[in-house]
Amino acid sequence: MKYLVDFIENKNVEQTEIFAQLKCEAEEAKVLQLMARRFINAQEESMVTELLTELYGNENYGYLDHLGSIKTLLELGWISQQSFTPLKVSEVSYLELLNTAVTLTSVFLKLLEEGSLEMTLPEVKPYADHLEYLQDQFFRIELYQKMSAIRHNGHEQSLGINRIQNKLELLEKRIEERIAETSENVVLDRFFKQKKLDEKEQVIFLALLKEEYSAGDNSLREMNALIDLISFDEYERIKNRSLLEDGARLVSDEIIDYEEMLSPFGGISRAFYIVDEVLQGIMHPQKKKKVHKLKLNMLIKEQDLFELIDPVTSLEDVVLNPKTHETLNNLMHQMDREVVAYLIKWGIKEKKQGIDARIIFHGPPGTGKTMTAYSLAKSLKRQVLSFDCSKILSMYVGESEKNVRKIFDTYYDLTDKTKTEPILLLNEADQFLSSRSSGVNSSADQMHNQMQNIFLEQIESFKGILIATTNLLENIDVAFSRRFNYKIEFKKPNFDQRIELWSKMLPKDAPYEEEFSIEKIAKYDLTGGQINLIIKNTAYAVATTDEPLFGMNDFIAEIEKEKRGNFDSEKSMGFLS
C-alpha cells in the first residue's frame, strides 16, 4: 500500500509516485487526495460542496470557481457520481454538479494499490489448451464490460475509456499472435471460423459463455446488456439490435436462443443463452460422440393421445379482462429466471428442476382460455401437448382409470426422450375436476371416483407446467382446488374489450357500408369466440352475393342466430387481438 500512503501523506501532490499517471492538474489531484484520505477513514462518498469548501473555504463562494476540477475528474474516470439518475458528464453544467455525491472509481483505487494501470499482456507463446484461450477471451469481455459501464454513466469522452480501449486492442492483437503460434486447433477459435462469426457476434457469444463458466448473476444474458457491450453510441445500439433478432445468424443457426420473460415494468424482455449442444461442444471438446436430439414432432406421430401445438401468438396478442391480465403477469413474474435462481439458492427447488406450475383457467366458453394457454406457452418459448379430456371416456371405455395414468406416463416419456419441457394442456377437464361421489351407487360412480383419485395423485406429483381448462369452477372438488397453484378466471369481455375484439378480428381489406359501426355491434354481449364465429359466418354469407358488401344487417342477422343458439355445436378456442 506504499502508493496509497505516499499519495495521501505527501504535501506536494505533484511529487507523488502516481501523479504522472493521473493526467490532470495539481488542483484536481488535491481533490483526489482529499477523497482518498476520507476513503481510508470509511467515508466512501462525499458531497461536491463539502470537498470544495474544505479545500478552498466558502468565503465569497470562491469554491464555486473550482467546480471545473470535479467535471474534469469525472471525465477522466477517476471519480463517479452516486445518484439514481446519473448526469451525463459531457452535457452537465457546473452548478448541476454542486449537490452531487461522488466516489472514487475502482480504476483509481487500483492505481492507488498497484501504482500502475499498465496491463500485463500474456506472453506470445502457443496456447496449451482451450481453457488458456478462454482465460484471455474472458479477460477481453471484462474490458468490454468496463467500457460499457463507463459509457452507461455518461463518461464517453473520459480518458478512462481510452485507456481501456487501448488495453483491449493490445489484448486482441496478443490473442491473434498466440493463435498464430498454436499448431493445435483451439476449439472455440475453430468454431468461430466455421460459423463465420464477425467480431460483434463473437463478443456476444463469449459474454454468454462467460456467464456459463462463472455462474454469475446472469446480468449479461439480457438483450440490452449484450447490445450495450458492443455499441458505442445510440445509433449503434439501434443497429446492433438486429444481431439478436429472430432472423439473426446467431439465432437462426441455432447457436444461441432466448427465453422471453415479463420485465418489472410490464414489458417482455429476452434472456439469451447458448444452445445446449453448442455449449457442450465448447465446454467438453474431448467428447466426440454426437448426441442426436429427438424432435418432439417426430415422436408425436407414434402416439394417439396428444396434439402438438407450436404457438404463434404471445400474451400481448390476447384480449383479456384487466384482472386476468394482471394475474397472468404475476404468474410470469414467478417464472422469471431470477426468481427461480432465488428458489434454488434457498433450497426450495432443486438445481436441475425446471419451472413447476399447476394452473386452472376457468370461465365461460369462448373467453380465451385455450388461446391464452397457447399464448403463455409462446411467451415462455414452449410447445404445447394438448389433450381433450372430454374424449377420455369414449376413447377408452372400461379402461378410463388405466388411461388417466397413461396421459401422464406418455407426457413424461416424450419429455424425457426429447429433453424438452412442453406445457401439458388438459382441455375441458371438468369431469376430472368435479366433486367425487360420496355414496357410490353404481359401477360407473366407482369407475369415475377411481379415475379422479388417480388424476389427483398425478397432479400432486406433476413436474412441469400443467394447465387445465374448465367452464365451471364451482363444481371443482376441494381436493383438486388445493393442488393447483393458480386459479385464473376468464370473464366475458366488457364493452371496450368487445370494441377491441371487433376491430382486430374484422377483415381489413373488406368493403363496408357507410352506416357500419363497430360501436353499435359491440353493444351485443358476446364472447371473443362468438365474435370470431359471427365474423366468419357473415363473411361466408356476404361472399356469395353479387356485390359483396359488409353491412350492419348482415352482422346483426348472424348475431341473432348465435343468440338463439343455432351454433351451439360450434367450438372456438379463444380470441386474439
- Is the residue at 289 inside a domain? no
HSE toward the beta carbon, residue 400, CA cutoff 13 A: 22
With cell 375484439, the residue in question is: 501
Coil/strand/helix, residue 499: helix
Number of folded domains in the chain? 4
Q: Which cell numbers hold the place of 154?
A: 455518461
Same domain for 309 and 456?
yes
Q: Which cell numbers hold the place of 6?
A: 505516499
pLDDT at position 542: 92
Same domain for 337 and 441?
yes
Mode of pairing for the β-strands spanning 268-274 and 256-262: antiparallel
Q: Is 226 exposed, middle or buried (0-12, 13-18, 19+ CB in 10 A)?
A: buried
Model confidence, pTM: 0.53
Asked which of 441, 467, 489 is the last residue of a domain, the reply is 489
Same domain for 49 and 97?
yes
Specify the DSSP class assigned to residue 524: S
- Is the residue at 288 inside a domain? no
24 Cβ neighbours under 8 A, 6+ residues apart:
72, 73, 76, 78
CA distance 46 to 86: 15
Counted residue by residue, the chain has a size of 577
Asked which of 283, 315, 335 is the last residue of a domain, the reply is 283
Asked which of 458, 489, 520 is the last residue of a domain, the reply is 489
Ramachandran category for residue 188: left, alpha or beta (phi over 0 → left; psi -120 to 50 → alpha):
alpha
pLDDT at position 121: 66
With cell 390476447, the residue in question is: 318
Distances in whole angstroms, Cα of residue 337 to Cα of each of 198, 209, 381, 499: 29, 17, 13, 36
Bridge-partner residues for 423, per DSSP?
Answer: 384
- Is the residue at 225 inside a domain? yes
Check if the beta carbon of residue 458 is closer than 8 Å to that of residue 408. yes
Same domain for 230 and 328?
no
Mode of pairing for the β-strands spanning 357-362 and 465-470: parallel
111 Cβ neighbours under 8 A, 6+ residues apart:
3, 18, 21, 117
**pLDDT tens, residue order, the chain (577 aa):** 889 999 999 999 999 988 988 888 999 999 999 999 999 998 988 999 999 999 999 888 999 999 999 988 887 778 888 765 555 666 678 888 888 889 998 878 888 988 876 666 667 888 888 888 998 899 889 888 888 877 766 554 455 677 778 888 888 898 999 999 998 888 899 999 999 999 999 999 999 998 888 765 567 788 888 999 898 888 888 999 999 988 889 988 889 988 766 554 455 677 888 988 888 888 776 665 444 456 777 788 777 788 899 888 877 778 888 888 888 877 777 666 667 667 777 777 665 555 678 899 988 888 889 999 998 888 888 899 998 887 765 554 556 667 788 888 889 888 888 888 899 999 888 777 776 656 556 666 777 777 788 888 888 888 889 999 988 777 777 777 788 888 888 988 999 999 999 999 999 889 999 989 999 999 999 999 899 999 999 999 999 998 899 999 999 999 999 888 744 444 444 444 4
User: Which string of b and e fits 442-472 if b means at least 16 CB within 10 Å?
Assistant: eeeeebbebbbebbbebbeebebbbbbbbee
CA dihedral angle for residue 160, residue 165, residue 170, residue 175, rounded to 10 degrees: 130
For the chain, the distance separating the N- and C-terminal CA atoms, rounded to the nearest angstrom, is 65
Same domain for 278 and 301?
no
Farthest CA pair distance, the chain: 101
- Is the residue at 569 inside a domain? no
pLDDT at position 276: 84
For residue 47, the domain's CATH number is 1.10.10
Same domain for 44 and 144?
no
Q: DSSP labels for 325-357?
A: HHHHHHHHHHTSHHHHHHHHHTTSS-TT----E
CA distance 35 to 50: 11
Same domain for 345 and 452?
yes
Q: For the packed helices 26-40 and 48-56, what is the interaxial angle rounded to 10 degrees?
A: 110
Expressed as residue numbers, the domain containing 481 is 296-489
- Is the residue at 146 inside a domain? yes
CA distance 106 to 100: 19
- Is the residue at 411 inside a domain? yes
For residue 358, the domain's CATH number is 3.40.50.300
Phi and psi of 89, rounded to 5°?
-60, -40
**Type of residue numbered 412:** Y
Q: Is 361 exposed, middle or buried (0-12, 13-18, 19+ CB in 10 A)?
A: buried
Check if the beta carbon of residue 467 is closer than 8 Å to that of residue 423. yes
Same domain for 302 and 197?
no
Mode of pairing for the β-strands spanning 423-427 and 307-309: unpaired
Check if the beta carbon of residue 205 is closer than 8 Å to that of residue 197. yes
Q: Closest by alpha carbon to 518, among 368, 526, 546? A: 526
Check if the beta carbon of residue 77 is closer than 8 Å to that of residue 149. no
Positive or negative, the Cα torsion across 32, 33, 36, 37? negative
- Is the residue at 123 inside a domain? no
Same domain for 250 and 325?
no
Check if the beta carbon of residue 576 is closer than 8 Å to that of residue 319. yes
Q: For the packed helices 130-152 and 199-214, what is the interaxial angle rounded to 10 degrees?
A: 100
Same domain for 74 and 222?
no
For residue 359, the surrounding DSSP H or E stretch is strand 357-362
Same domain for 509 and 443?
no
Check if the beta carbon of residue 137 is closer than 8 Å to that of residue 124. no
Same domain for 302 and 271?
no
Distances in whole angstroms, Cα of residue 220 to Cα of each of 141, 208, 229, 339, 522: 10, 7, 9, 17, 47
pLDDT at position 520: 93
- Is the residue at 191 inside a domain? yes
Phi and psi of 335, rounded to 5°?
-100, 5
**Type of residue numbered 363:** G
266 Cβ neighbours under 8 A, 6+ residues apart:
329
Q: DSSP labels for 269-307?
A: EEEEEE-HHHHHHHH-TT--PPP-PPPHHHHHTT-SS-E
CA distance 360 to 345: 28
Q: For the packed helices 26-40 and 106-114, what is the interaxial angle rounded to 10 degrees?
A: 90
For residue 499, the domain's CATH number is 1.10.8.60
CA distance 151 to 147: 6
CA distance 260 to 379: 6
Q: For the packed helices 528-543 and 495-505, what is the interaxial angle rounded to 10 degrees?
A: 40
